[in-house]
């Protein structure tokens, strides 16, 4: 089976992953409308290709918050990479470093931050976090990440509660016994309540600011009003995201929301986008609409499922080649 | 089989109900375009989700015509509940009371108003009626309902004649011999004409008004012109409804009609809506567009078909949970 | 099999007619886009239903060019009725008279005008004609129709050449040997050229006018420009038609074209429409958009194929009932 | 099997060509969105048919750059005709001459320019070329074409690199050993780099101009901006083309792009269009929107695959008949 485009990796993962893992990665909230809209919205956007421009040399490197990456595609935070590949997030970190791009490690990793750092020293990494009811636990995570050389903190704003993913409920999804959310081990007492704090508000950005000198990137913004609030509260970056369509169903596709966020921000902070990226030309569209960089979620997991570190590199390399070709053909 | 969302109950009912009963409940007029549009129209409405609001405590109770219900979802009037569950409307009444919401009992119930009342004393109930050729029969029904403690009268305005439901004609639909439209027993001579009066006009609202001190809610309004007339004729509430798409096909979806009705009414009376509610987020959309409360028709029947009173409570509880989650995720 | 709606007759005809006959009746030009659009366009039109109007008595009779018909649905001209039923156009004429409506007999009938007249004396009939290269032949047809009591002449304007109907070409469609285009027998020498004259222009209306005192109705108008020309050249009626999608593919649906024709005509002559009528509510839509009456083509043939005269009456009766019900439900 | 419309030839070719050849001809870039849009966009355009015009005599000849062709459909440049028929481009040339139309021979022909010329002396032909890294090779090709009596040079502007055609990659597409890109034999050293020069810009038009007195037609223009540049750089014609959807996916359909190009050009040079032509009515639409002539790509290959020269003539004859009929029916 030739791996020619990202859909090939998707088909592979669907075929070879355990159903419960595939369903977890694929899940969208409710009717999965927003999950699918993320992709469909890209297809509705049309290029106006220009001809006879010298495209013999193209520089596709970019900088995000001052750090150079080899091309404008990073790894979005997703949980439980060991469900896709035994080495889990360690493989992800190695692949990202090999391709010289940014990896946002999730709080819900199956490896510790320390293991991730040790697996690929020197790689560009940000750390994704939630604000927990137990603020001391959040504080400890921030300090660990900062001490380990993570270069950004990504605060997820769209998960006061977990969205309703029907297949996960039907499957009774839970991690297999040999996997753990290692970053949080010992941090919480076993309790029935979700450890995440649904009372978090914009003022908690100031609290987070007080804990760290790292840049803060807020993830989950979909409206101009919230983009304005984010800038006002001093974040350094915004990731336009609907959590892969896993939270509130029937909100906007991220590429559509990007337009109004970019306009509201007016260049004051960097804006990124995730959700629905499946081809190099999608990357080009996102950049043309004002994103500084995009992040891929599920495609990274498919790459891991295919061949771990190597498979994820394949995915990134295909996106890179397609992105470069799209740029050339679009002039 | 896990019952995770309302579609699961629909699938169950389709599988286990006798075909003739399923077809009767599912039927739409003509090509069923409006029946299906009721659902599709909700999907076309998009949220603009807001982030980082304190959603740790939410109050989802509301009041309709002064009575508190636990959340803004009531039971719409539908006929022949014994087709779905042996105890029929008695189970419906018990489930509604258990969930502390409003149940609109249909004239075409297979239990009497007295049986319904006795099954769940103290529950909030409205009574749905048509105006019959035999006005004395209508008057007696109104008096019985009032005496039994029903707290509202819902006048159905969209059924001068019954819509053309092809499957019912093909099936030769009629109640099985052991079921009866008990509320009407003895009220009419057997005759070939429909007992309903197609010559009813707005002035008959005044006649109805003269019979009772109960609030009058008119059901079946779809245009601003009729909403204006309803207010002018002194009703206390309006249910925007197209009878589940069972009357005139190819009219508007109710959620679309709601917008113009709410605008025309301008807060002078309460406005409700039924038709097409399948998820908690649909409830949130209806409320965001101005409805005070929604009513569910077919989903209530699916719940009954699943496990009677208990099944209907399951349906209501799922909607309640989904509604609360949608509110939190939408900020 | 219960015959509940027109689609039931369509399914019957498709099942029991010889393929070559079914294909001929069903055929559309090229990709059949316009044929299908005729139907889809009706579905896009939405009612605004009004409530609580006295609909106990409704008069659905109308007049076309001064003659009363029992409801605003007539029989459009279609060819070769013997392909559907042995008695052919004689059955059609009897059914139309029984239902007290207008039948437009086609030049391409498999019965003569004389046979049609004799089959149902006193029925309201118009005669459809083309202008032939051999004008004398056309003149003789007009005189025969007038002498036989036909009360209108319908000039088909959209067939300078026959549209490309792929299935007919594949099937090598031709009438079986025992059927004949009897009206034209002896009128033409056998020749390779089509007998129809592609050089016909608006001035030929004056020529036709000079032959007869009958009202002239022009069939095949789809634009305001041509509607204006038709009025200017003195026709008495216009049938908005695209020949059932059998001539130029990818023109407008007739119900869409009706709007601009009605506007251009401004009441100076009567406007009718054919194409895509499948339900009583379609009739109501056409009338609401300004048609005085509609004509049905293929559904009449399905009725014939089902049970001849009786089947066609069934079709008309269903449309009549549905039309009356739609009027009541739409207020 | 009756060959009634172009889809019949497509079905034949799909059935009888080797999969690798069919896939190569059918291929579109990425998701094939633009390839399919080329066709869908024609379907979205609606005629406004006019009636009662004298259509007994119609002249469908036209002139392109001063040369008369029998009807406004030419053969677009496509590669590797021997994959479709043993005689390859020689058959194409003969068919084009027989139908008295223009054939644009591709650089990537499997016959030499000399063989093509000798196969059909006197036919109207243009030569399609790319600009190679090795300019001397390009120069030699131009001189050969001019010397052989080709009457126009078609510069392809949309292929700085080859688009990503997934099936070709999966199939490992390459010419079978007995076929050669004969025009280029000996012109290049074997090298890993594409022989085409991605650094070509508008100024290279001047270089091309300096080599030849033939008119230069630029192929691949999709925007008003590039149309303006093309006119400014002195080309004699523009072919609006997206390379059959084989280069940048998700750009505009050619018939949509035609409108803005025609407007920008304002009659200063001739404008043609290719891509998506499947029926005579498509030709009429393109002409109505300002094209002087259309070119067909894949349909020509299907004709070759069916019966070589004869099959291609069949395809052209069907288009001619359909075009003439559409003109008559549209008035």
pLDDT of residue A186 exceeding 80: no
Which residues make Cβ contacts (< 8 Å) with residue C252, sequence separation at least 6? C34, C37, C222, C242, D46, D47, D48
Residue B177 CA from chain centroid, whole number: 26
| Contact: C247, D279; criterion CB under 8 Å | no
pLDDT tens digits, C218-277: 999 999 999 999 999 999 999 999 999 999 999 999 999 999 999 999 999 999 999 999
Question: Mean pLDDT for chain A?
Answer: 96
Q: Looking at beta carbons, which residues of chain A come within 8 Å of D166?
A: 4-5
Task: List Cα–Cα distances, A110 to A41, A178, B132, D321, in angstroms.
Answer: 32, 10, 69, 68
pLDDT score recorded for residue C144 = 96
pLDDT of residue D227 exceeding 60: yes
Q: Does the beta carbon of D328 lie under 8 angstroms from any beta carbon of chain C?
A: yes
In angstroms, rounded to a whole number, what is the distance separating the alpha carbons of residues D79 and D173? 13
CA of D218 vs chain A CAs: smallest distance (Å):
10
When pLDDT is cut at 50, 70 and 90, the band that residue A96 belongs to is very high
D246 is in an annotated binding site: yes
Q: Would residue A52 count as lying in a domain?
A: no
Q: Would residue C183 count as lying in a domain?
A: yes
When pLDDT is cut at 50, 70 and 90, the band that residue D191 belongs to is very low
pLDDT score recorded for residue C184 = 85
pLDDT of residue D27 exceeding 60: yes
In CATH, what number is assigned to the domain containing residue D300? 3.20.20.70
pLDDT tens digits, B305-330: 999 999 999 999 999 999 999 999 99
CA of A47 vs chain D CAs: smallest distance (Å):
5
Q: State the distance between the two ends of chain D, measured CA to CA, in whole angstroms.
A: 32
Q: Would residue D150 count as lying in a domain?
A: yes
pLDDT of residue A191 exceeding 50: no
pLDDT of residue D84 exceeding 50: yes
| Contact: D161, A329; criterion CB under 8 Å | yes
pLDDT score recorded for residue D190 = 45
Between chain A and chain D, the number of residue pairs with CB atoms below 8 A apart is: 85
- 3-class secondary structure for chain C? CCCCCHHHHHHHHHHHCCHHHHHHHHCCCCCCHHHHHHHHHHHHCCCCCCCCCCCCCCCCCEEECCEEECCCEEECCCCCHHHCCCCCHHHHHHHHHHCCCCEEECCCCCCCHHHHHHHCCCCCEEEEECCECCHHHHHHHHHHHHHCCCCCEEEECCCCCCCCCHHHHHHCCCCCCCCCCHHHCCCCCCCCCCCECCCCCCHHHHHHHHHCCCCEEEEEECCHHHHHHHHHCCCCEEEECCHHHCCCCCCCCHHHHHHHHHHHHCCCCEEEEECCCCCHHHHHHHHHCCCCEEEECHHHHHHHHHHHHHHHHHHHHHHHHHHHHHHHHHC
Q: D 7-66 residues with CB below 8 A of C?
A: 43, 45-57
Task: List Cα–Cα distances, A176 to A180, A246, C143, in angstroms.
Answer: 8, 21, 91
pLDDT score recorded for residue B187 = 63
Q: Does the beta carbon of D287 lie under 8 angstroms from any beta carbon of chain A?
A: no
Q: Write out the residue range of the structural domain in which residue A203 sits.
A: 6-45+59-187+195-326
pLDDT of residue C191 exceeding 50: no
Q: Would residue D52 count as lying in a domain?
A: no
In angstroms, rounded to a whole number, what is the distance separating the alpha carbons of residues D201 and A51? 8
Question: Which chain A residue has the Cα nearest residue B53?
Answer: A201
Helices (H) and strands (E) in chain B, counts: 12, 10
| Contact: A49, D225; criterion CB under 8 Å | no
Strand ranges (E), B65-215? 67-69, 73-75, 103-105, 125-129, 153-156
Report, as ranges of residue numbers, the positions in chain B whose pLDDT lies below 50.
190-192
Q: Do chains D and A touch (3 or more CB pairs under 8 A)?
A: yes
CA of A143 vs chain D CAs: smallest distance (Å):
44
pLDDT of residue D129 exceeding 70: yes
Nearest Cβ partner of D43 from C33, C161, C242?
A: C33
Residue A112 CA from chain centroid, whole number: 18
CA dihedral angle for residue C313, residue B245, residue C47, residue C245, rounded to 10 degrees: -50
Q: Is C132 a catalytic residue?
A: no
- Which of A29, A30, A40 is the best substitution to test chain B (most B C-beta atoms within 10 A)? A30
pLDDT score recorded for residue D184 = 85
As given in the structure block, the two tokens for residue A77 are 């935070």
Q: Would residue B290 count as lying in a domain?
A: yes
pLDDT of residue C103 exceeding 90: yes
Residue C286 near residue C294 (C-beta atoms within 8 A): yes
DSSP A139: H
pLDDT of residue C214 exceeding 60: yes
Q: State the distance between the two ends of chain B, measured CA to CA, in whole angstroms.
A: 32
pLDDT score recorded for residue D159 = 93
How confident is the model over C204-210, as a mean pLDDT? 97
pLDDT score recorded for residue A35 = 98
pLDDT score recorded for residue B190 = 44
Nearest Cβ partner of B52 from A200, A242, A249?
A: A200
In angstroms, rounded to a whole number, what is the distance separating the alpha carbons of residues B209 and D223? 68
D320 is in an annotated binding site: no
When pLDDT is cut at 50, 70 and 90, the band that residue C193 belongs to is low
Q: Would residue A88 count as lying in a domain?
A: yes
* Structural domains in chain A (count): 1
Which residues make Cβ contacts (< 8 Å) with residue C176, sequence separation at least 6? none
Q: Would residue B113 count as lying in a domain?
A: yes
pLDDT score recorded for residue D188 = 58
In angstroms, rounded to a whole number, what is the distance separating the alpha carbons of residues A166 and A153? 30
Residue C34 near residue C28 (C-beta atoms within 8 A): yes
Question: Mean pLDDT for chain C?
Answer: 96
In angstroms, rounded to a whole number, what is the distance separating the alpha carbons of residues D34 and B91? 57
Predicted complex ipTM: 0.95
How confident is the model over C97-110, as a mean pLDDT? 97
Question: Which chain B residue has the Cα nearest residue C8?
Answer: B166
Q: B 211-240 residues with CB below 8 A of A?
A: none
Question: Mean pLDDT for chain D?
Answer: 96
Q: Would residue D216 count as lying in a domain?
A: yes
């Amino acid at each position: 089976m030739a791996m020619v485009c990202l859909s090939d990796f998707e088909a592979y993962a669907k075929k070879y992953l355990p159903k419960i893992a595939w369903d977890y990665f694929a899940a969208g909230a409710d009717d999965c409308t927003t999950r699918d809209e993320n992709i469909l919205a890209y297809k509705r956007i049309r290029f106006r290709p220009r001809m006879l421009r010298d495209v013999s040399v193209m520089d596709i490197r970019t900088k995000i918050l001052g750090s150079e990456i080899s091309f404008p595609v990073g790894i979005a935070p997703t949980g439980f990479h060991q469900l896709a590949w035994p080495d889990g997030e360690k493989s992800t970190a190695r692949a990202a470093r090999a391709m010289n791009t940014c990896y946002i490690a999730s709080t819900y990793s199956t490896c510790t931050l320390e293991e991730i750092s040790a697996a690929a020293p020197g790689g560009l990494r940000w750390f994704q976090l939630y604000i927990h009811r137990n603020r001391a636990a959040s504080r400890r995570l921030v300090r660990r990440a900062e001490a380990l050389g993570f270069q950004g903190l990504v605060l997820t704003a769209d998960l006061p509660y977990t969205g309703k993913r029907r297949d996960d409920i039907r499957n009774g999804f839970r991690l297999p016994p040999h996997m753990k959310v290692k970053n949080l081990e010992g941090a919480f007492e076993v309790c029935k309540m979700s450890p995440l704090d649904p009372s978090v508000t914009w003022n908690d950005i100031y609290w987070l600011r007080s804990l760290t000198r790292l840049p803060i990137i807020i993830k989950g913004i979909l409206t101009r009003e919230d983009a304005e609030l984010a800038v006002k509260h001093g974040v350094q970056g915004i990731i336009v995201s609907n959590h892969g369509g896993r939270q509130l169903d029937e909100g906007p596709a991220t590429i559509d929301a990007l337009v109004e966020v970019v306009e509201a921000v007016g260049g004051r902070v960097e804006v990124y986008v995730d959700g629905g990226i499946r081809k190099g030309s999608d990357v080009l569209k996102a950049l043309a609409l004002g994103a500084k960089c995009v992040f891929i979620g599920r495609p990274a997991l498919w790459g891991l499922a295919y061949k771990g570190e190597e498979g994820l590199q394949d995915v990134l390399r295909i996106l890179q080649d397609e992105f470069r070709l799209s740029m050339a053909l679009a002039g």
